[in-house]
Amino acid sequence: MKSIRTIDVADLEDIAIGGAILGTGGGGDPYIGKLMAQQAIRRHGKVRLVDVEGFDDNALIAPVCMMGAPTVMTEKLPQGEEIVIALRKLEKFLGRRVDAVLCGEAGGLNSTTPFVAAAAADLPLIDGDGMGRAFPELQMTTFGMHGVSATPMVLSDDKGNSVVLETISNRWTERLARSCTVDMGGSALLAFYPMSGAVAKKAVVRGTLSLCADLGRKLREARARHDDPVEAIRAALGAEIIFNGRVQDVLRRTIGGFARGEANIEGLDGDRGHKMRIAFQNEFLIAECDGQTLVTTPDMITLLEAETGVPVTADAMRYGIRVVALAYPCSEQWRTPQGLELVGPRYFGYDLDFRPFVANAMR
């Protein structure tokens, strides 16, 4: 199989940062993700990033990811290689070896966890994911939109416990997996959504991991050249800067295994005198300026530190940080009626219709 590229220790730095940009506030801490994946590559060797088109229609492909509240994961470091246990237990349950690993969601942590699994299990990793961003619940995948069941699914923890779920719907899987994750201490490692090569070719959001690497590299290079790092990311994403400001307060609660809350940002420079409110459930879901909705899920809201261009996760937000808010369109798959049913504003309890965000439109 032709590799798109081979991923080594140094690349993980870029991928984790790029993942945190696409993670739109969630998807875990990039620092932890990077360390886990680098350690796995040092121990087991480089990872081949491959195109989904290279697989037989009857190949068996398994996404992997970490589940839990980011607030918990930052304090309770995963061992990392439990993800291989989850993958091996899924293979045992299915009675068949997996041919490739796939990324579940883009995020600081979850764009890197598949590298741990791929390196340790010596499997190729498909360049793509099931969201093109991060989302808080596990039924929120393009895999599910293409009829793939999240189960059989294995959850493993750092202590040696594991759970196999077989459910009647991906919503039920989310419910049961969330409780198990909470019991397991707030985070768990998952192998789930097993699918054929034929289905993967339709369901995967393509090129996500290459995009993560590209975003991370551009940020790194802009900083090295003393260019404007925020502009480098904005241009690479085709995004619009919707707000410039300073974080004023953050309300945050970890409930039911999620980090929920909202951040208020007071405007600076051209936005002085204005206020932005960003609501999140692990990920940023809604951005309002002076009470007017500018962007809603599933379109993408990324916060960058104004000086460094480093992405700010919902969990890392705190009083006083200077931030720039970017907005840009999500994968077209999410803008369909089926997509909006899974991840539109009404699913999250907001009484708002989705209006597609158009970058740099006249408003």
Binding residues for a second copy, per CB under 8 A? Answer: 89, 93, 159-168, 172, 175-176, 179-180, 182-184
- Which is nearer to a second copy, 50 or 155 (by Cβ)? 155
- Which is nearer to a second copy, 147 or 256 (by Cβ)? 256
Angle subtended at Cα 44 by Cα 105 and Cα 99, rounded to the nearest 5 degrees: 55
Smallest distance from a second copy to CB 182, Å: 7
Q: How many residues does the chain have?
A: 363
Smallest distance from a second copy to CB 32, Å: 24
Interatomic CA distance for residues 199 and 298, integer angstroms: 23
- Which is nearer to a second copy, 4 or 176 (by Cβ)? 176
Angle subtended at Cα 331 by Cα 104 and Cα 86, rounded to the nearest 5 degrees: 5
Q: For residue 253, give the 3-state DSSP assignment.
A: strand
Instruction: Report residue 11 CA to chain centroid gap.
Output: 18
- Which is nearer to a second copy, 163 or 222 (by Cβ)? 163
Which burial class, exposed, middle or buried, applies to 9 when counting CB atoms under 10 A from its CB (0-12, 13-18, 19+)? middle
| Cα 12 to Cα 18, 42, 233, 321, distances in angstroms | 10, 12, 18, 26
Smallest distance from a second copy to CB 148, Å: 17
Identity at 114, one-letter amino acid code: P
Smallest distance from a second copy to CB 101, Å: 22
Q: Residue 226 region, left (φ>0) first, then alpha (ψ -120 to 50), else beta?
A: left
Smallest distance from a second copy to CB 357, Å: 35
- Which is nearer to a second copy, 89 or 234 (by Cβ)? 89
Say if CB 83 and CB 153 are below 8 A apart.
no
- Which is nearer to a second copy, 79 or 248 (by Cβ)? 79
- Which is nearer to a second copy, 43 or 159 (by Cβ)? 159
Say if CB 300 and CB 292 are below 8 A apart.
no
Smallest distance from a second copy to CB 168, Å: 4
Smallest distance from a second copy to CB 33, Å: 26
